[in-house]
Each structure stands twice: as structure tokens, then as C-alpha cells.
Structure 1
Amino acid sequence: MLSNKEIRALSWKQLKSSYWMIFVMLILFGVIMGALSSIGVGFILMGPGLVGLSAYLLDVITNKENSDGSKFDVIVDGFKDSFVNSLVAYLLSNIFLFLWGLLLVIPGIIKSYSYSQIYYIIRENPEIGPMEAIDKSREMMDGKKGKLFMLDLSFIGWYLLGLLAFGVGVIFVVPYHRLARANFYNELREKPTPTWNEEFQEEF
């Protein structure tokens, strides 16, 4: 599996040809979900929406015909065969996160990484059950939560720079971060991951 440094480099390279399309997609996604949440139905469509967004990002990094991110049609994938499964998976995972968060903040954060691959898994396996998708994500992230945490942590500097530019710069970081997470999943499903010690040494 690629190191986090290599994942960032790959994502940056891909972003050069797809940034504006990904940016537009994320803005549309945020506006639509925000509007739906304001009328009380956002929780119903958030799961399918996240599956659709995952489908789009995976398509950008794996489909040469959509390497520029201009084909938006895959965004509806979460509203087709996997609508119910993605809805229930979203509700269950958030209930579990809430319960873990009642214990302490740190267990809740750890579990959020355990569940981080749910929507990618459902996108590639539309018929998978909600609990099966949750369990599969936990299995895939076993021993790899630290690696994804380190990947997220490496973007903090970018976000801080974005905030210094009156917050406007953040909009340039989010597509990069999202693409890096999609590449993380793509690597995770195909190749073995280094141990925590190996990954720590690679990054530092």
C-alpha cells in the first residue's frame, strides 16, 4: 500500500485535472444537503448522498474517461439499488458513534475511523446489508485507523493556511483532502497496509 506521502502526491497529481469539477460537486452536495437538513429530511438522504459522492470520487481516480471529474451521473448511484441500505447504515453508524461518544471523546473518534469506509463499500457492493457494511469497514480499518488519522492530520497545515486567507483558502483544500481519502480506500482494498510502526517511520 502506498504511504500517506505517496497518497497525497498521487491525489495532488489527479487534482490538477479535476479540481474545479470536484469543487463544483462538493459545493452542490453541501448546498443541497444543507437545504434538505433545514427542512428536516437531510438525515434521510445523507447516507445515499454520501454513497453517491464516494462513487463520484472513486470514478475520478479509477476511470480514465472521467479523470477530469466532468461526469456527474454517478452521484445518483446511492439513490438507486443501495438507497435503503445506505440510509440504514448512515443511521446505525451515527447511533453507534453517539453511544461511543457518551463514554469519552477519544473512543468516539476512534470509532469514526472504524466506520470511515462504509459508503465506499456500499457503493461497490449495493446489495450489502447495513450491518455487514459497518462490519466490513471495521474489518478493513483494523490496524489501519492510525494510518488514516495520520493522513488527515497531514492536512491540518493546509487548513490553517486556508483559514489565514479569511477562510476562503479552505475551499481549495477540501477537494484535495476528499480525493486523498478516496485514494486511501482504493489502496486499502487492493494492497496490504504497513504496521503502525512502519507507517509512523515512513511519515516522520
Structure 2
Amino acid sequence: MYTGTLVSGELKEKALNKLKGNWKITIEASIIFCLFTGIFLTNITSMYSFVNNHFRYIGIFNIYKIIFSKFPKWLLVDNPLLLLFFMILEGPFFLGFVKFSMKIAKKEKAEIKDLFFAFTKFRYFIESFFLYLLITILSILGTLLFIVPGIILALRYALAFFVMNDDVEISATSAMSKSKELMEGNKGRFFTLVITFIGWDILSFLTLGLAKFFVAPYFITTCSEFYQELINGNRK
């Protein structure tokens, strides 16, 4: 079993220290990542739906109505073709973003081209897409049964993309198996880490995804620190 001892605050502090001096390129990479994976657009459509369905008559939310009036209508509704486009790209781009963030965590030179790593070989693209698809399906099925199983499955495979980044020839299923092994005894600690980012996620929601350009690399770099501690630490 892999063990780690750092608490959430220590992992986040390490991540922020690594990000110092790298924020410019990190924000640029995050913008590309959020745009090509639909994260930015999802924040906009979710807030649009939230305001219209629950707070359309509350004055404090009028600012959002003004903002939304400037958007093309097709951007404010779920578009099946766009959703399919983002679903295909999310896995490959997430692998690239993990590679970028791991370089930051290791104090190596991170570059924008790292985001497109999975596009350099057909196998990398397919395996990263398949990995994202498998994790998504399992998490949804688990959530449909009961919420807790879905959370447990998401936590179990939370490090699969980090495993794939370390071994690019690994298959999606093998990366999931390795992540399951790494997370044995560590799911609670990782869940606590995720919870500490809820405030940042709310801010991202309220700013229509703009804060996500900062939050995404902060979170993934922190996860990189979590992964590194397990890999480099003692195995019991």
C-alpha cells in the first residue's frame, strides 16, 4: 500500500510555491485547456440555467441577465454536437494538462505544447479518450445507483491520468488498476483535498468560469503533489 502524510494545506502550499514565477504560461495553458474541453462554456450554460430557473426575479442577479444578453443564444443551451466535440477532446487534453502540471510540480520547464502531447500519437489519443470515457461511465453508473458509490469510484481512479503520464504506453485499464492501487488507504485524504477547493469552484461558477483559469492549474498541480508524494514515498 502506498502511503502519504501531507495534509491538504501542505500540498496546496507546495503547489503554490511551484507555481510562483510560472503563472503567466500556466494561465495561458489553462485558458486553452478550459476552452477546448468545454469547461468555460459549461460554466456559462450552467449559470444561465441556474439564474433562469431559480433566481430570474431576484435583483442581485440582474447583472447576469445583462451579461447573458450579449451572448449568442446557441452558446447558452446544451448543444449535442458541441458536447460530443468536447467529450472527444477532454481525455487527450486532460492528459496534456496533467503533463504540463507535473512538470511544474517537478520544477521542470512546462510548455504550451505539453497540452497537445496526446495528439502526437494516435495510441496516446485513443487511450486517453478511452480512459476518460471509462471513468466517466463508471462514475455516472455508481452515482445512479447511490451517490456514495459514484464518489468512491471517482476517487479510486482519480490518479489514472497521472499514471498514464508517467507511462505513456500503458493502457487505459492498466492505468485505472494502478490508480486503484495507489488510492488504497488514500481516498479519504484525497476527498478532503477536493473538498478544500469547493470555495474556489463556487467562485468559478459565479465568475462564469473566469476564475477557473486560475483554479484549474492550482488544483491539478496540487493533485500532482499528492501523486508525487505517493510515488516517491514509502510503500507498506
Q: TM-score, normalised by structure 1?
A: 0.80
Q: Does 1:118 align with 2:170?
A: no
**In structure 2, the residue corresponding to 1:87 is in which secondary structure?**
helix
Q: Write out per-residue CA displacement over residues 25-80 of structure 1, whole angstroms, 9 at most, x where no aligned residue.
A: 1111111222896173322222111111111100112143x1xx4x2222222222
Q: Are positions 1:74 and 2:114 aligned together?
A: yes
Over 3 Å counting, the alpha-carbon distance change for 1:22 and 1:39 in structure 2 is same
Distance of 1:39 and 1:104 partners within structure 2 = 25
Q: Residue 106 of structure 2 aligns with which residue?
A: 62
| 1:141 match | 183
In 2, the alpha carbon distance for the partners of 1:45 and 1:161 equals 25
8 Å contact kept, 1:77–1:123: no
User: What whole-Å deviation, never above 9, does each CA across 1:103-137 have from its counterpart, x for those lacking one?
Assistant: 11121011111111111111111111121111111
Structure-2 residue corresponding to 1:202: none
Cα gap change, 1:111 to 1:126, in 2 (>3 Å): same
Match of 2:229, as an amino acid? E
Unaligned 5+ runs, structure 1: 195-204
The residue correspondences of 1:34-183 to structure 2 (distance < 5 A) are 34=38, 38=82, 40-64=84-108, 66=109, 69=110, 71-79=111-119, 80=121, 81-159=123-201, 169=211, 171-183=213-225
Q: Matched residues in 2 for 1:178 and 1:108: separation?
A: 21
Query: Which residue does the alignment assign to 2:34?
Result: 30
Q: Is the 8 A contact 1:115 1:134 kept in 2?
A: yes
% of aligned pairs identical? Answer: 29
How many Å separate the matches in 1 of 2:175 and 2:219? 23
CA 1:121–1:162 in 2, change beyond 3 Å: closer, same or farther?
Answer: closer
Q: Is the 8 A contact 1:14 1:61 kept in 2?
A: yes
Aligned residue for 1:127, secondary structure, equals coil
Higher relative contact order (CA 8 A, sep 6+): 2
Per the alignment, residue 12 of structure 2 pairs with 8
Cα contact 1:85–1:130 (8 A) shared by 2:
yes
How far apart, CA to CA, are the structure 2 residues paired with 1:19 and 1:147? 27
Pair 1:156–1:32, CA change in 2 (3 A): closer
TM-score under structure 2 length normalisation: 0.70
- State the alpha-carbon separation in 1 of the partners of residues 159 and 212 from structure 2: 24
Q: Structure 1 counterpart of 2:128, which letter?
A: S
- Residue aligning to 1:198: none
Aligned residues: 190
